[in-house]
Amino acid sequence: MNVWGLLLLAVIVAIAIWLAIVVIKWLFILAVVAGLIWLILFFMRRARA
């Protein structure tokens, strides 16, 4: 494996790590939003009962 092959591999690994961080960040944000919506609906149902 030459230098260009290692460089290409390093770039691919860096892009994969960046994509994983972005995906995990958005999944975390979606989980927080879903939790807040669930809490609001839960307390609205309790207040109505």
pLDDT digits (tens, 9 = 90+) for 1-49: 699 999 999 999 999 999 999 999 999 999 999 999 999 999 999 888 7
pTM of the model: 0.61
In a domain, 13, yes or no: no
In a domain, 43, yes or no: yes
Angle at 33 between CA 42 and CA 45, to 5 degrees: 10
Closest CA to 13 of 1, 3, 5, 23: 5
In a domain, 11, yes or no: no
Any idea how long the chain is?
A: 49
Q: What is the pLDDT of residue 9?
A: 96
Structure tokens at 12: 């691919």
In a domain, 12, yes or no: no
Domain span at 37: 18-49
In a domain, 40, yes or no: yes
Strands (E), 1-49: none
In a domain, 7, yes or no: no
- Return the amino acid letter for 36: L
